[in-house]
């Protein structure tokens, strides 16, 4: 499964940069235009007119950024919805699903604190693609065996066979939360002063993106790359798992 999240976000960021450049160019055009008309009006009138036009150019550029931000958020939501069904799998609709869960809980309780990854996997195999329940089972097993046995000194889960996918999904959800939080106001940061243009002894300022915005864009891309890596790894792990099951069943 290949996700195009990074490519799409890169495209939107490029469009935003192009919009910022266009805004700066338009501001310079406004000044050039008034240079040719400087003899017809009083300096006071020209100063006021230039400032008004520059404000209009900046406002229009900001509105384009609002649209780009809306597009960015839509891309992220689309990607999240694309990835989550893949991770969650189809939810079982069978009427005895809750009974199966209860049985699994009883088995887990019966095994107690001595439960191994292999045993937990055998008990929880039917729910392996149901993230919500696996998340709850992970908490139960962690409480039963204790955190020090559940997670090793490197911070990795000792029940990787059973809860490896669940942990990766947790990571993905956290990453998506971070991505959404960065994207919330991306492109809408107040612009900073970039270039000072002098006209008739008056100073006008061309605006551009600040450091915090550029840094957020870079962080967003890094997070998206991480998401893409995890999804790819999960997809290849899934194929491997399916092959293992097929081998066991002799298909």
Partner 1 sequence: MRAIHKTIQTQLDNVLKLQLLKNTKIHSVNIQKSRSIGRLQIELSSEEKAELIKNINKKYNTQIENIYTELNKELSDLNLKNLDNPFKERWNI
Query: Which residues form the interface with partner 1 (CB under 8 A)?
Result: 15, 22, 26, 29-30, 33, 36-37, 41, 49, 59-60, 62-64, 66-68, 70-71, 74-75, 77-78, 81-82
Helix (H) or strand (E) holding 210: none
Q: Assign residue 199 a region: left if phi > 0, alpha if psi is -120 to 50, beta otherwise?
A: beta
| CA separation for the pair 40, 158 (Å, rounded) | 80
Greatest Cα pair distance in the chain: 94
| CA separation for the pair 120, 105 (Å, rounded) | 10
User: Per DSSP, what are the bridge partners of residue 151?
Assistant: 157
Nearer to partner 1, 49 or 136 (CB): 49
Nearer to partner 1, 68 or 183 (CB): 68
Nearer to partner 1, 106 or 185 (CB): 185
Least Å from the CB of residue 16 to partner 1: 11
| CA separation for the pair 206, 185 (Å, rounded) | 22
Nearer to partner 1, 8 or 133 (CB): 8
Q: What are phi and psi of 152, to 5 degrees?
A: -80, 180
Least Å from the CB of residue 53 to partner 1: 8
> What is residue 184's three-state secondary structure?
coil
User: Per DSSP, what are the bridge partners of residue 202?
Assistant: 199
Nearer to partner 1, 55 or 139 (CB): 55
Q: Do strands 202-208 and 192-199 pair parallel, antiparallel, or not at all (unpaired)?
A: antiparallel
Measuring CA to CA, which residue among 68, 62, 63 is closest to residue 9? 68
Least Å from the CB of residue 33 to partner 1: 5
Least Å from the CB of residue 149 to partner 1: 41
Spell 99-124 as b/e; 16+ CB within 10 A means b: eebeebeeebeebeeebebebbbebb
Nearer to partner 1, 163 or 187 (CB): 187
Nearer to partner 1, 127 or 207 (CB): 207
Least Å from the CB of residue 70 to partner 1: 5
Least Å from the CB of residue 2 to partner 1: 15
User: Per DSSP, what are the bridge partners of residue 204?
Assistant: 197
Least Å from the CB of residue 65 to partner 1: 9
């Amino acid at each position: 499964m290949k996700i195009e999240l990074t490519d799409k976000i890169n495209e939107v960021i490029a469009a935003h940069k192009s919009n910022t450049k266009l805004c700066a160019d338009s501001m310079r055009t406004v000044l050039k235009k008034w240079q040719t008309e400087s003899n017809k009006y009083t300096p006071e009138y020209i100063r006021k007119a230039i400032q008004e036009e520059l404000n209009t150019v900046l406002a229009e550029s900001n509105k384009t950024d609002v649209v780009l931000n809306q597009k960015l958020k839509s891309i992220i939501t689309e990607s999240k919805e694309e990835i989550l069904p893949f991770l969650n799998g189809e939810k079982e609709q069978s009427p005895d699903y809750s009974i199966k869960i209860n049985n699994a809980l009883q088995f887990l309780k019966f095994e107690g604190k001595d439960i191994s990854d292999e045993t937990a996997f055998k008990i929880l195999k039917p729910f392996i693609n149901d993230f919500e329940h696996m998340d709850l089972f992970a908490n139960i097993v962690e409480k039963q065996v204790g955190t020090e046995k559940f997670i090793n000194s490197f911070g990795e889960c000792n029940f990787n066979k059973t809860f490896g996918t669940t942990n990766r999904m947790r990571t993905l959800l956290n990453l998506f939360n971070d991505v959404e939080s960065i994207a919330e106001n991306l492109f809408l940061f107040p612009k900073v002063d970039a270039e000072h243009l002098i006209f008739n002894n008056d100073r006008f300022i061309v605006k551009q993106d600040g450091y915090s915005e550029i840094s957020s864009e870079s962080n967003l891309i890094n997070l998206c790359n991480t998401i893409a890596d995890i999804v790819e790894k999960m997809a290849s792990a899934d194929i491997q798992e399916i092959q293992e099951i097929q081998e066991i069943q002799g298909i």
